[in-house]
Homo-oligomer: A and B are copies of this chain.
């Protein structure tokens, strides 16, 4: 545990928070054993908090042609490109757990082209990176490439939407200087 600030902004105490937000935070704490700092930092603005997590859940928790691990790969790769410490460290931990692979997250964060991935997953990340870094150049040929790897158009929306949502998330984390919890660094590092 560290006593370093987790945000440039005031972090509300749990009792000050609206009921629904406090409930959500207590639920995640019960499930994870700690409260990821993103919940505390964004609680500074309750309406934005609610929209942020509703969007997050709509993309990351739903049924999809992409596995949950694949969605986390998109988060980690694009957050690495955006130099977002919170998202790389926190979602790196989630990726290790969801992929049951202690190595993959660090590989993807630094250079996904050299990671232990299937060609289909590399194509997925090529596209996610294009949406993240130069969405203005996305065109029909990108869709054709992904369809050639077996992705449906709904899968393609999922890839793009996760990359787009974390374009928002990375900017909020970098702007607030959001600090990753110490717990994330070691989660999921033991081989299974």
Q: Which residues of A contact B (CB under 8 A)?
A: 2, 4, 8-9, 44-45, 47-48, 50-52, 54-55, 58-59, 62, 80, 82-85, 88-89, 92, 102-103, 106-107, 109-111, 113-116, 131-132, 135-139, 143, 153, 157, 160-161, 163-165, 167-168, 170-172, 174-175, 177, 179, 182, 185-186, 189-190
Contact = CB atoms under 8 A, between A and B. Distances in A.
A189 B165 CA distance: 30
Contact of A186 (B113, B182, B189): B189
Instruction: Kindly report how many copies of this chain are found in the complex they form together.
Output: 6
Contacts of A182: 103
Contacts of A138: 174-175
Contacts of A132: 171
A111 B83 contact: yes
A160 B175 contact: yes
Contacts of A82: 135-136
Contacts of A153: 8-9
Contacts of A185: 102-103, 106, 189
Contacts of A164: 167-168, 171-172, 175
